[in-house]
């Protein structure tokens, strides 16, 4: 059968289940995007923003109960539950299809179904992969236009007739009781019903590029990671590339487009959320960004914190769940200006300061990557960029120093596996609760995480020059609850230290945790900060760490024999170093 035959057959099956009034094949053209916007303006799915100051920008207000990913409704459906592992929700494939099938059945009666062939990754890259999703949401089609490469380019990329991830998406009735996000990695299949929210509905993103992607990556010997990709240019003009994993709403977009105040240092953006990473013929790790746009957190994006972010959303952007001013401009908490009188909140209700936030804490912008002022000229290079450093960052009020470097690959993988973080508004549920989030992949790893750690460990020996691995935490606070480190643009100072370390410079002290920069090793020139605050941000406490590592052992327990011995060994070594001071 030809490529299109296999795709058409699957689309027919989806239509037989959902019974749409019409099936439309998306071609990814500008005319198609404009037509979608026009229709959505007519039916109220989109509202026009000020076209003089925000040309091509629109607002979408989602269902108030559909504003973030819902992890409790997200499942990995493998035949054997052990292949999903203790950190994933698991459902038997047949049961999953029976349940969701009932929600999908005839759910597109009187609605249209779009077929979206999409490519994840740059055209012409051997690392890029195709998906074909169907959906009854015009907002999803328009968002996929911004976030992926839609149309014939995707079909052209298929290496065989069945070389695509199939995705069935439907809005259902948007009730959380009838919402399910299901992954069938063994069948290269995704079913998502009952949510129109980003990570639940734009199936190329978390469902394909991370959950199914990570499963395929292990089988095929590459990596699919929840990472930004960033290049740091130094005064010699050399660019050092990093991949960085941080949990949802914990700083990837901001660091990926950081504006450095250090003379001669400049950051180039290649991606802000997902990296697909492979080993080239020379044993060098190389990363591509499978996405084409940014689906970024709006709150606290300001000219001071993220000037590139502010600039890139001034045109051709879909805002979701932000507040709006009477001038029809977007507004959110931390945008840097007071909300003018007459501001409407994210649900379109009159708003006044003092109560609930005007913008939803997980309000977002969807914007083409090409609009970012710091986008790297080579961001769509089919070969990707060579990675010299990995950064694992999380959100911790206490315990974790602002930055330190691992002793090597195995210890670095352990530090990633040991990550914990405070939860954010990017997931439905309680905010600020500490949970384990290895490599920022706990919600996104499509298979048993014990095997995932083993896969990471196995990558090291394949590399001619394994990247240095760093651990960071911008979110440490003092006793009064204030951040110890100003973060944002000042994080470029920490990148500079990492670049120095990678190129054999940069002062550090060896501690039981790893290499920590001495306070004078960080370039603090021009920064008005009490050095004692920097020292406190870099400090570590033996008892706090021993405590935290005890807790880690409990987290690793359920992985049983799937947990690699090296991870346990690194844990024991760390406890030993802490106890003996060696
Ligand atoms: P996802 O898109 O959910 O994967 O998030 P992300 O990791 O890209 O996070 P993002 O950069 O959007 O940041 C999330 C929130 O953390 C925003 O409100 C930021 O303003 C805030 N933030 C980012 N960097 C820093 C920092 O260095 N310090 C502090 N205090 N806050 C930061
Ligand atoms: C995240 O939650 O990590 C995001 C947003 O990047 S979403 O695409 O909705 O998952
Ligand atoms: Mn993310």
Task: Give, in words, the CATH class of 5-44+69-221.
Answer: alpha beta
- Residue 422 has a pLDDT of 97
Half-sphere exposure in the Cβ direction for 168 (13 Å, CA): 30
Atom from ligand 2 closest to the CA of residue 198? 9
Task: State the ligand closest to the CA atom of 427.
Answer: 2
Is the pLDDT reported for residue 1 higher than 80? no
Q: Which residue's alpha carbon is nearest to atom 7 within ligand 2? A: 199
Give yes or no for residue 286 CB within 6 A of ligand 2. no
Atom from ligand 1 closest to the CA of residue 486? 28
Percent of the chain with pLDDT strictly greater than 90: 98
pLDDT tens across 499-521, in order?
A: 999 999 999 999 999 999 987 89
Whether 5-44+69-221 shares its CATH topology with 225-293+377-580 is answered no
Give yes or no for residue 273 CB within 6 A of ligand 2. yes
Q: Which residue's alpha carbon is nearest to atom 4 within ligand 2? A: 248
CA of 337 to the centre of ligand 1 (A): 19
CA of 239 to the centre of ligand 2 (A): 28
CA of 467 to the centre of ligand 2 (A): 26
What is the rounded distance in angstroms from the CA atom of residue 523 to the CA atom of residue 530? 14
- Residue 537 has a pLDDT of 97
Q: Which of 60, 249, 360 to mutate to test the pocket of ligand 2 (most atoms within 8 A of CB)?
A: 249
- Residue 522 has a pLDDT of 96
As a whole number, mean pLDDT of residues 207-220 equals 98
- Residue 3 has a pLDDT of 80
Give yes or no for residue 252 CB within 6 A of ligand 1. yes
Is the pLDDT reported for residue 323 higher than 80? yes
Q: Dump the DSSP string for 341-380.
A: TT-B-TTS-B--TTSS-SS-TT-EEEEEGGG-TTB-TTTT
Q: Which residue's alpha carbon is nearest to atom 11 within ligand 1? A: 251
Give yes or no for residue 384 CB within 6 A of ligand 1. no
Q: Which residue, among 49, 38, 137, 67, has the nearest Cα to 316 in the 3D structure?
A: 49
CA of 248 to the centre of ligand 3 (A): 5
Give yes or no for residue 250 CB within 6 A of ligand 1. yes
Q: Which residue's alpha carbon is nearest to atom 13 within ligand 1? A: 251
Give yes or no for residue 476 CB within 6 A of ligand 1. no
pLDDT tens across 524-542, in order?
A: 999 999 999 999 999 999 9
Task: State the ligand closest to the CA atom of 482.
Answer: 1
Q: Which of 249, 289, 302, 310 to mutate to test the pocket of ligand 1 (most atoms within 8 A of CB)?
A: 249
Among all chains, which residue has been given the structure tokens 């460990």?
457
Give yes or no for residue 272 CB within 6 A of ligand 2. no
Give yes or no for residue 145 CB within 6 A of ligand 2. no
Q: Which residue's alpha carbon is nearest to atom 28 within ligand 1? A: 487
Asked if residue 350 lies in contact with residue 358, where contact means CB atoms within 8 angstroms, the answer is: no
CA of 81 to the centre of ligand 2 (A): 25
Atom from ligand 2 closest to the CA of residue 252? 6
pLDDT tens across 381-437, in order?
A: 999 999 999 999 999 999 999 999 999 999 999 999 999 999 999 999 999 999 999
Q: Which of 169, 206, 226, 431 to mutate to test the pocket of ligand 2 (most atoms within 8 A of CB)?
A: 206
Task: Give, in words, the CATH class of 225-293+377-580.
Answer: alpha beta
Q: Where are the alpha helices (DSSP H) in 160-206?
A: 198-201
As a whole number, mean pLDDT of residues 339-367 equals 97
- Residue 52 has a pLDDT of 98
Q: Which of 66, 140, 199 to mutate to test the pocket of ligand 2 (most atoms within 8 A of CB)?
A: 199
Q: Which residue's alpha carbon is nearest to atom 12 within ligand 1? A: 297
Q: How many residues does the chain have?
A: 582
Main-chain dihedrals φ then ψ at residue 131, nearest 5 degrees:
-130, 155
Beta strands 468-472 and 434-436, pairing class: unpaired
What is the rounded distance in angstroms from the CA atom of residue 102 to the CA atom of residue 199? 22
Radius of gyration over every alpha carbon of the chain, rounded to an integer in angstroms: 23
At 567 the three-state DSSP class reads: helix
What are residue 279's DSSP bridge partners?
Answer: 285
Atom from ligand 1 closest to the CA of residue 297? 12
Give yes or no for residue 305 CB within 6 A of ligand 1. yes
- Residue 582 has a pLDDT of 72
Cα distances (Å, whole numbers) of residue 143 to 72, 116, 244, 291, 524: 24, 11, 24, 12, 41
- Residue 519 has a pLDDT of 74
Give yes or no for residue 455 CB within 6 A of ligand 2. no
CA of 100 to the centre of ligand 2 (A): 22
CA of 134 to the centre of ligand 2 (A): 20
Q: Where are the domains of the chain?
A: 5-44+69-221, 225-293+377-580
pLDDT grade for 120, boundaries at 50, 70 and 90: very high
As a whole number, mean pLDDT of residues 239-253 equals 98
As a whole number, mean pLDDT of residues 17-43 equals 98
- Residue 518 has a pLDDT of 87
Is the pLDDT reported for residue 465 higher than 90? yes
Query: Average pLDDT, whole number, for the chain?
Result: 97
Q: Which of 254, 294, 443, 444 to mutate to test the pocket of ligand 1 (most atoms within 8 A of CB)?
A: 254
Atom from ligand 1 closest to the CA of residue 362? 3
Asked if residue 143 lies in contact with residue 368, where contact means CB atoms within 8 angstroms, the answer is: no
What is the rounded distance in angstroms from the CA atom of residue 564 to the CA atom of residue 283? 23
Contacts of 252 by beta carbon, 8 Å cutoff, 6+ apart: 226, 227, 228, 244, 245, 246, 272, 273
């Amino acid at each position: 059968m030809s490529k299109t035959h296999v795709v058409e057959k699957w689309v027919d099956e989806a239509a037989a289940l959902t019974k749409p009034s019409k099936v439309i094949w998306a071609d990814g053209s500008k005319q198609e995007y404009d037509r979608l916007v026009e229709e959505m303006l007519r039916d109220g799915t989109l509202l026009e923003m000020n076209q003089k100051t925000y040309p091509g920008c629109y607002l979408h207000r989602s269902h108030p109960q559909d504003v973030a990913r819902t992890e409790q409704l997200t499942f990995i459906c493998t035949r054997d539950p052990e292949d999903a592992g203790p950190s994933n929700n698991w459902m038997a494939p047949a049961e999953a299809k029976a349940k969701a099938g009932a929600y999908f059945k005839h759910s597109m009666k009187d609605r249209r179904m779009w077929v979206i062939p999409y490519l994840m990754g740059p055209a012409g890259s051997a690392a890029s992969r195709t998906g074909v999703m169907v959906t009854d949401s015009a907002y999803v089609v328009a968002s996929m236009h911004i976030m992926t490469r839609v149309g014939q380019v995707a079909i052209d990329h298929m290496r065989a007739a069945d070389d695509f991830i199939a995705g069935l998406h439907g809005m259902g009735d948007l009730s959380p009781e009838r919402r399910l996000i299901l992954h069938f990695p063994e069948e290269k299949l995704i079913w998502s019903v009952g949510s129109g929210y980003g990570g639940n509905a734009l199936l190329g993103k978390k469902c394909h590029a991370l959950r199914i992607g990570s499963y395929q990556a292990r089988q095929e010997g590459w990596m699919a990671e929840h990472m930004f990709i960033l290049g740091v240019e130094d005064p010699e003009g050399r660019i050092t590339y990093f991949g960085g994993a941080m949990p949802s709403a914990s700083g990837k977009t901001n660091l990926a487009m950081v504006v450095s105040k250090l003379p001669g240092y400049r950051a180039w953006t290649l991606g802000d959320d997902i990296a697909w990473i492979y080993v080239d013929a020379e044993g060098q790790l190389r990363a591509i960004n499978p996405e084409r746009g940014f689906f970024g957190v709006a709150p606290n994006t300001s000219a001071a914190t993220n000037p590139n972010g502010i600039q890139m959303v001034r045109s051709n952007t879909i805002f979701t769940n932000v507040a709006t001013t009477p001038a029809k401009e977007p507004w959110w908490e931390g945008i840097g200006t007071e909300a003018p009188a007459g501001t409407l909140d994210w649900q379109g209700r009159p708003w006044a300061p003092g109560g609930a936030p005007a913008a939803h804490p997980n309000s977002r912008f969807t914007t083409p990557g090409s609009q970012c002022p710091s986008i790297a000229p080579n961001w769509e290079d089919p070969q990707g960029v060579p990675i010299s450093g990995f950064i694992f960052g999380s959100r911790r009020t206490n315990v974790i120093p602002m930055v330190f470097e691992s002793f090597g690959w195995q210890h670095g993988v352990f530090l990633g596996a040991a990550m914990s973080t405070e939860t954010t508004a990017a997931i439905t549920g309680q905010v600020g609760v500490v949970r384990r989030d290895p490599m920022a992949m706990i919600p996104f790893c499509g298979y048993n995480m014990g095997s995932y750690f083993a896969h990471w460990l196995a990558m090291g020996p394949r590399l001619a020059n394994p990247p240095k691995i760093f651990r960071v935490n911008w979110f440490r606070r003092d006793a009064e609850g204030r951040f110890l480190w100003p973060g944002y643009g000042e994080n470029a100072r920490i990148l500079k230290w990492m670049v120095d370390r990678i190129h054999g410079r940069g002062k550090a002290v060896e501690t039981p945790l790893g290499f920590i920069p001495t306070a004078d090793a960080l370039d603090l020139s021009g920064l008005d900060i009490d050095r004692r605050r920097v020292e406190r941000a870099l400090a570590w406490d033996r008892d706090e760490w021993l405590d935290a590592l005890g807790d880690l052992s409990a987290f690793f327990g359920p992985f049983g024999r799937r947990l690699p011995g090296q991870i346990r060994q690194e844990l024991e070594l760390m406890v030993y170093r802490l106890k003996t001071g060696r």
